[in-house]
Amino acid sequence: MKVAFATTDFVHIDGHFGSAKQMALYEVDDKGYQPLEPLIFGGNLNQDASKQDKLEKLHAKVEALLDCTIVYVLEIGGPAAGRLINKKVTPMKSKSPEDKITDLLDRLVETLKGSPPPWLRKALQKTSESDLEAVLEEV
């Protein structure tokens, strides 16, 4: 599964979803994780942006994350979380801006080796269905 992290330094989960200028991406399974090409977002993502500009940037960010199973952030607003959930992407909040991406990835791999909680099993089912659809499209 693909997992994204809102980050300012590619080390910590310290980015707010709406103002994040970059997302670290990883492919994760029960054997480990591999970094992928990060997502970089341009434009004015700050509070002084117009409402229309914010909506357009939010839409573009959600669309860029459609192939992710989980998106970890420090903070996320209700509308943004709702959009992700509607697209079957699970938003998760970190507990602190000091939380390290690699620590969370290690815990996620260990969870996948055992018995994942119901929310993660459901998210993984979405990933399996997407993989099957991709294979069928190639045939």
Tens digits of per-residue pLDDT, 85-111? 999 999 999 999 999 999 999 999 999
Query: What is the pTM for the complete model shown?
Result: 0.83
What tokens were used for 134?
A: 């991709």
Proportion of the chain above pLDDT 70, given as a percent:
84
What pLDDT is recorded for position 99?
96
Structural domain count, the chain: 1
Q: Which residues touch 72 (CB under 8 Å, ≥6 apart)?
A: 3, 4, 5, 6, 13, 92, 93, 94, 101, 104
Judged against a pLDDT cut of 60, whether residue 137 lies above it is answered with no
> Residue 81 sits in a domain of what CATH number?
3.30.420.130
- Residue ranges making up the domain that contains 25: 2-138
Instruction: State the virtual CA torsion across 25, 127, 54, 82 in degrees, nearest 10.
Output: -130
What pLDDT is recorded for position 7?
97
Distance CA 38, CA 41 (A): 10
Query: For the chain, what is the mean pLDDT?
Result: 85
